[in-house]
């Protein structure tokens, strides 16, 4: 459902709609009908998938750094 088209941020279905932006819109109180009107190429299930993805991120117990960039 999500791909890395926008740099390294997750997006919806490979489109250039960052998950972060969609979550901010939903948090602001915009209704699904308003979102679907503003973004006709998205479906209600896309916005529900954003919430599901975020809920799963909240369940992560620890994050480990597996690589770091060397200072140049």
d(CA 10, CA 62): 19
Pair 26, 33: CB distance under 8 Å: no
| Predicted pLDDT at 45 | 94
| Predicted pLDDT at 44 | 94
- For the stretch 58-72, pLDDT in tens is 888 877 777 766 655
| Predicted pLDDT at 6 | 55
- For the stretch 25-64, pLDDT in tens is 999 999 999 999 999 999 999 999 999 999 998 888 877 7
Give the chain's domains with CATH numbers: 2-58 (1.10.10.10)
Percent of the chain clearing pLDDT 70 (strictly above): 83
């Amino acid at each position: 459902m999500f791909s890395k088209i926008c740099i390294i941020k997750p997006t919806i279905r490979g489109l250039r709609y960052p998950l972060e932006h969609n979550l901010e819109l939903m948090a602001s109180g915009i209704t699904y009908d308003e979102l679907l009107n503003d973004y006709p190429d998205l479906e209600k299930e896309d916005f529900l998938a954003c919430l599901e993805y975020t809920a799963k991120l909240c369940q992560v117990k620890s994050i480990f750094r597996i690589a770091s960039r060397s200072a140049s």
